[in-house]
């Protein structure tokens, strides 16, 4: 009889991989809302869609920030998180959200309240540039936040910020289409094609990400095993791939022919479910390495 320890340690005195439990659903919600809202805002700004800009802005400024504040152990000190933008991606994200909040408001006020609030000349151009750049940072910075923490091997790849950026773009595209359909507004011709393309690209990116993890550290490979054949397999294959990507793609192709409002909502529900599930599974499945004596790790025990 072999007395091998189980893969996941059930307490800190036991040998095994330790599950990441510090960043929970609140941080996952903050990451999800940040990417979604910023992605929607950028697309809406570039296609001159006020409703999309407003919804995207509120998702980030209200939704993401609320989730962050609820998560912090000492939310009254939140401003300290901006202290070290030279070294910390969290601090850079705080600055990006600050710039986004101000520049987004500058751009939205004339659209919502009237031309009296319009800034002219280079100021409006500057606000636009700052809004776009800061929104793009918000779309990918959480990937770098996760990536720059060496404790969890499954997050240690430059592919993670890229993956989250692409998912944020996809979420923004889907939500932009949904808002336009619900309001009966004209849809730019490229948007449905962009959505289809992003769904395929994200599938490929996911595959590349997982292939990359297969060559990574043991903790990352164990997480990969859990995604493909372990406790997260059903959620990954079912919600992230089937619902979030495949069903969204098929329904979206049908929608481009049928143009049904109910279908639009279903597409949004599928995509957002897959998007949110991916963020949550990334957080929950993160594993810290096993701490073991060198002689045993050298023997593969």
Partner 1 sequence: MARYGMVIDLKRCIGCNSCTLACKQENGTPEGVHFARVVTREVGTYPATKRTFLPVLCNHCSDAPCAEACPTGATYIRADGIVMVDREKCIGCRACNVACPYMNRHFVAKGLLMGYGTDGLTPYEAIKFLDFEEGTNIKCTLCAPRVDQGLEPACVITCPTDARIFGDVEDPNGKLQRLVKDRKGWTLSPEYNTKPNVWYLDE
Shortest gap between Cβ of 216 and partner 1 (angstroms)? 10
Smallest gap from residue 253 Cβ to partner 1 (A): 39
Crossing angle of helices 25-46 and 122-147, rounded to 10° = 150
- Give least dist CB 121 to partner 1, A: 36
**Closest to partner 1 by CB, 147 or 226:** 147
Beta bridge partners of 288: 18
Which residue's entry shows tokens 């962009």?
194
Q: Output 88 or 128, the one with its CB closest to partner 1.
A: 88
Q: Cα(192)–Cα(187) distance, rounded to whole angstroms?
A: 8
| Of 72 and 250, CB closest to partner 1 | 72
Q: How far is the CB of 136 from partner 1 (least distance, A)?
A: 20
Residues in touch with partner 1 (CB under 8 A): 1-3, 5, 12-15, 18, 20, 22-23, 71-75, 77-78, 80-84, 87-88, 90-91, 94, 145-146, 148-152, 217, 286, 288-289, 291-296, 301
CB of 85 within 8 A of CB of 42? no
C-beta closer to partner 1: residue 126 or 293: 293
Min separation Cβ 55 and partner 1, Å? 27
Reported for 265-271, long-range contacts at CB under 8 A and 24+ positions apart, including other chains, are 265/178, 265/182, 267/174, 267/177, 267/178, 268/174, 268/175, 268/177, 268/178, 270/243, 270/244, 271/170, 271/171, 271/174, 271/244
26 within 8 A of 292, measured Cβ to Cβ: no
**Of 109 and 217, which CB lies nearer to partner 1 in the complex structure?**
217
């Amino acid at each position: 009889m072999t007395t091998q320890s189980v893969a996941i340690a059930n307490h800190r005195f036991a040998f095994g991989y330790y599950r990441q439990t510090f960043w929970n659903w609140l941080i996952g919600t903050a990451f999800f809302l940040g990417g979604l809202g910023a992605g929607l805002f950028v697309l809406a700004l570039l296609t001159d869609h006020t409703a999309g800009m407003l919804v995207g802005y509120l998702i980030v400024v209200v939704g993401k920030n609320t989730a962050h504040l609820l998560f912090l152990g000492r939310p009254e000190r939140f401003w300290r998180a901006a202290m070290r933008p030279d070294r910390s991606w969290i601090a850079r994200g705080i600055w990006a959200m600050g710039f986004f909040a101000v520049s987004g408001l500058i751009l939205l006020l004339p659209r919502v309240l009237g031309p009296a609030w319009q800034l002219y000349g280079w100021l409006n151009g500057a606000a636009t540039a700052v809004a776009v750049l800061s929104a793009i940072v918000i779309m990918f910075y959480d990937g770098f936040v996760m990536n720059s923490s060496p404790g969890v091997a499954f997050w240690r790849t430059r592919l993670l910020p890229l993956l989250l950026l692409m998912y944020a773009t996809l979420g923004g595209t889907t939500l932009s289409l949904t808002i336009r359909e619900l309001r009966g507004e004209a849809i730019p011709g490229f948007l449905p094609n962009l959505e289809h393309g992003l769904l395929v690209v994200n599938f490929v990116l996911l595959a590349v990400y997982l292939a990359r993890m297969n060559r990574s550290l043991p903790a990352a490979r164990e997480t990969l095993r859990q995604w493909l054949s372990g406790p997260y397999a059903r959620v990954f294959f079912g919600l992230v791939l089937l619902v979030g990507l495949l069903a969204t793609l098929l329904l979206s192709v049908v929608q481009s022919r049928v143009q049904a409002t109910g279908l639009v909502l279903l597409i949004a529900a599928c995509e957002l479910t897959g998007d949110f599930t991916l963020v949550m599974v990334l957080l929950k499945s993160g594993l810290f390495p096993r701490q073991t004596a060198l002689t045993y790790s050298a023997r593969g025990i």
